[in-house]
Structure 1
Amino acid sequence: MFTVRTLAAACAWLAGAFAASAWTTAMPVHAASLHAAPKAEVIHWWTSGGESAAVRQVAQAYRDAGGVWIDTAIAGGDQSRAVTINRIVGGNPPTAAQFNTSKQFLDVIEADMLINVDVVARAQNWDQMLPAPIIDVIKVGGHYYAVPLNIHMQTWFWYSKAAFQKAGITREPASMAEFFAALDKLKAAGIVPLAHGGQAWQETVLFSAILANMGGKELYLKAMRDRDQATLLSPAFRDVLLAFKRLKSYVDAGSPGRNWNDATAMVIAGRAGFQVMGDWAKGEFTNARQVAGRHYGCMAGLGPASPYLIQGDVFVFPRTRDAQTVKAQQLLAQVVSQPTLQVGFSKLKGSIPVRTDVDAEELDLCAQKGIAIMKDRSRQAGVTEVYLTPDQNGAMQDVLTAYWNTSMTAEKAQKSIANALKY
């Protein structure tokens, strides 16, 4: 939460740092408007229990800094992004909007509909501080267009300690073979082995986890970043597809259409053993008053060298000529950049702060694991949306969900994915 010191710093920053920014291209701020509280309408999709608690931290920090927060929460990332883009294109943009750290907002940047945040980036030395996969998507044409709030890792393995005990699992699996063996033990004990939300994006997350853990960083990047046709059509990639489809036999009949947080609730209750999901799931454990290492476990991968697939949450600021909106955007950019806010947000959201100069002692066991891994740049890689355009990612997602839910062969899925990522 904001302190007097951080509020004073915010005021000083607003008075000086933005004097040279792109924001100054808006109309001058008249004296009368200087005394009005900055009012920010923020569109986001943080609607689950843990997410709602986290975004309240941002809203309160904004109020503490003198702003008025107007919350426009829209359930579902796809729906929220569509509303945001339609409003920007239609000339009725929000003050700010949440996106993932990905190419989701590239078209809006290319249409010159977002304001750059280079002044913030220079002040915080983003070129040196931020991981390369994040820089690659928020810096376009030499300019930064989004303020990152956190770092998420998409492919954590969450497990119930109670379920492990009931199934006689004594240690975390450290390979795909050990993972399948643990799933078999859970099934034999009458526990749902794998809690899965049967939605297309969740199938992509699950597939990404198998690709990263079976093929390692080299195979993952050749397939997703380079879209190398020989790799996509290789026996190694086919083996990944077969292992991915094999997981279907460990999922319960109620999976289709299930939300990710409802799948997390199954692990929280001990009705399921594992869930493969981003670290935003940890916010649900926290909201249920469960403690990492006591009630549940978290594995960043199946072994010490598995790629750490990162993205995160950012705020973007639609271009505007309204002086009061500019003022509100400036204040919000400062608020979400504060180390104290980033720690408080991540404690509830399940992520880790994007800034490296924060005091992370308050963060839990899983977050500490993530922070330690992030120090090893050799393990960093982006999620599929970091490397693929929305159209490419959507085409691959369509193939994966069809393969998961139908009798499509691995060979057909493999050829279809290669074709989808060919151009």
Structure 2
Amino acid sequence: MGNITKIAAATIGLAAALSASAGEVEVLHYWTSGGEAKSAAELKKIMQAKGHTWRDFAVAGGGGDSAMTVLKSRVISGNPPSAAQVKGPAIQEWAAEGVLANMNGLAKAEKWDDALPKVVANVMKYQGNYVAAPVNVHRVNWLWGSADALKKAGVSAMPTTWDAFFAAADKLKAAGLIPVAHGGQNWQDFTTFESVVLGVGGPKFYQDALVKLDPKALGSDTMKQSLETFRRIKSYTDPAAPGRDWNLATAMLIQGKAGFQLMGDWAKGEFLAAGKVPGKDFLCAAAPGTANAFTFNVDSFIFFKLKDPAAQKAQSDLASALMSSGFQEVFNLNKGSIPVRTGQNMDKFDDCAKLSSKDFTETAKNGGLVPSVAHGMAIAPATEGAIKDVVSQFWNDDKVSVADAMKQIATAAKTQ
């Protein structure tokens, strides 16, 4: 889902691993929940069909931080796995250490540059060379609606502007329902905040303020308006929100107790698992004001330099499998996300995924495709953490003024 540091189902193999033997591929990943585990099994099957041995570097019960610690010690000792699940700016941090393999030969042969939007391909490269492969794209700027709750409140359509959103929220409140289901964790607060900034200011402002961290943008009237809108949303959440997990917030929509949730498309997995049908039981729309934009969260794998030729071949076959349209279809049908390859056949996907895919392709062309800060795709982890803390403090404490929050965000943006 989001942050590598907080993946609840994150997993680590702490057992000392043997050096990669001929045709063995060892992979550190976090795919242990239902749909994800099915996808890992699918990948294992593809590799075994090519004659390779698959080895999971994953055991339930750990956290992303300890996974990275174990990975670092393995790499330092000269015994890296074939691949590890790493994303966003962390890819460049690993590459800067000089430990990642150059995958350009394969990428060229399989035309990765043609298959991926440039903004996504750039995240997978270091100094112009591919060092990682993406498996999916999650859209973060979604607004989900409960058909039951909205009907009960007399809300006839999903709101496309913040004014319409607040008018609908007032109707939900009047009907005795919770207008906005929210969970109190800093990444959830920031998921909402970045959608507000995108909706109020548009993609260029979002890039300037939250990705480039431009002081002028951070101190602008548009940022002031974004924080005011963000605070207004808080007034429509319920008192039990602090500490609530995101999936429990989604459950409030499934039960018809709440009207809206601002959350990435992993929320769709919860609706589908509960037997709910998109367009009938639940509704999906881009967050207000963001129909022409797309905040992306991409899961990917980095590839380590290996000495053994058989292991290198297995690694290359793994990268090829991850990028194949067949695996991307299976994986994303299980995960709720969409294939990262543009031009992928979407016939088997639901309407929300089809809309996501269409918008992904269009925003890649018009400049509306932007990285999610909340989900570790845009800025250095220390800076991201500092800004998230400020935004959550503002969300949770009405005594923090908008002017103070603006100053604190500008200061946090300088954190290295």
> Fold conserved (TM > 0.5)?
yes
Match of 1:164 in 2: 150
| Structure 2: stretches of 5+ with no match in the other structure | 1-19
Match of 2:370 in 1: 381
Q: CA separation of 1:265/1:156 partners in 2, compared to 1, >3 Å: closer, same or farther?
A: same
Q: CA separation of 1:48/1:246 partners in 2, compared to 1, >3 Å: closer, same or farther?
A: farther
2:355 equivalent to 1:366: no
**Alignment-mate amino acid for residue 410 of structure 2:** A
Match of 1:399 in 2: 390
- The CA distance in 1 between the partners of 2:24 and 2:270, in whole Å, is 30
Match of 1:44 in 2: 29
Q: CA separation of 1:163/1:359 partners in 2, compared to 1, >3 Å: closer, same or farther?
A: same
Give the structure with the higher percent helix.
1
Which moves more between the two structures, 280-289 or 87-96?
Answer: 87-96
- The CA distance in 1 between the partners of 2:62 and 2:244, in whole Å, is 14
Q: CA separation of 1:270/1:348 partners in 2, compared to 1, >3 Å: closer, same or farther?
A: farther
**Count of residues in correspondence between the two structures:** 388
1:411 to 392, 403, 414: 403
Shift of 1:338: 1.4
Shift of 1:303: 4.6
1:45 and 1:80 in contact (8 A); partners too: no
User: What are the superposed Cα offsets for residues 3-23 of structure 1, whole Å, 9 maximum, x if unpaired?
Assistant: xxxxxxxxxxxxxxxxxxxxx
2:179 and 2:260 in contact (8 A); partners too: yes
1:50 and 1:286 in contact (8 A); partners too: no
Match of 1:25 in 2: none
Counting aligned pairs with the same residue, the percent is 38
User: What are the superposed Cα offsets for residues 389-419 of structure 1, whole Å, 9 maximum, x if unpaired?
Assistant: 2222122112111212223221111111112
**Alignment-mate amino acid for residue 75 of structure 2:** I
Q: CA separation of 1:91/1:361 partners in 2, compared to 1, >3 Å: closer, same or farther?
A: same
- The CA distance in 2 between the partners of 1:291 and 1:332, in whole Å, is 34
Which moves more between the two structures, 185-194 or 334-343?
Answer: 185-194
Shift of 1:65: 4.1
2:198 and 2:290 in contact (8 A); partners too: no
- The CA distance in 1 between the partners of 2:304 and 2:391, in whole Å, is 34
User: What are the superposed Cα offsets for residues 180-238 of structure 1, whole Å, 9 maximum, x if unpaired?
Assistant: 12222222323222222211112111110000011111221221233221111012101
Q: CA separation of 1:79/1:307 partners in 2, compared to 1, >3 Å: closer, same or farther?
A: farther
- The CA distance in 1 between the partners of 2:285 and 2:74, in whole Å, is 39
Match of 1:17 in 2: none
- The CA distance in 1 between the partners of 2:260 and 2:62, in whole Å, is 25
- The CA distance in 2 between the partners of 1:162 and 1:241, in whole Å, is 30
Shift of 1:105: 2.6
Shift of 1:90: 5.8
Shift of 1:262: 2.6
2:320 equivalent to 1:331: no
- The CA distance in 2 between the partners of 1:40 and 1:310, in whole Å, is 29
Shift of 1:148: 0.8
Shift of 1:50: 4.2
User: What are the superposed Cα offsets for residues 43-84 of structure 1, whole Å, 9 maximum, x if unpaired?
Assistant: 333444444444444344444444424261566655655554
Match of 2:8 in 1: none
3-state DSSP of counterpart to 1:116? coil
Shift of 1:365: 0.4
- The CA distance in 1 between the partners of 2:304 and 2:321, in whole Å, is 17
Shift of 1:173: 0.3
Match of 1:241 in 2: 227
User: What are the superposed Cα offsets for residues 317-367 of structure 1, whole Å, 9 maximum, x if unpaired?
Assistant: 233335564344233212212111101111121111112243221111011
2:183 and 2:246 in contact (8 A); partners too: yes
- The CA distance in 2 between the partners of 1:262 and 1:61, in whole Å, is 35
| Structure 1: stretches of 5+ with no match in the other structure | 1-28
- The CA distance in 2 between the partners of 1:90 and 1:400, in whole Å, is 40
Which moves more between the two structures, 45-54 or 277-286?
Answer: 45-54
Match of 1:345 in 2: 331
2:180 to 148, 171, 194: 194
